[in-house]
Structure 1
């Protein structure tokens, strides 16, 4: 059975693509983007296979 590791990361609006591209190069897959605490910015939820 596949196991996953997860990470959350803040996203800076003017650099979202660059941030996500960097995570993608490290094997992270974007799962969801949600508003940050108190509506400040965005938070990305990412996953990648464990191992």
Structure 2
């Protein structure tokens, strides 16, 4: 069964690249456990710097 989130109680994570908090988005429904960065830009920054994303 799929979890349902409402705006006041969306789960949050901290971005591995910039350190800012970011909230769950509907497009991440299936992949929320694997999401480590807040944006494609941060993901690219990690790749450029050669950092390994902590799991």
- Whether TM exceeds 0.5 here: the answer is no
Greater RCO structure (CA 8 Å; 6+ sep): 1
TM-score normalized by the length of structure 1: 0.30
Q: Whose Rg is larger?
A: 2
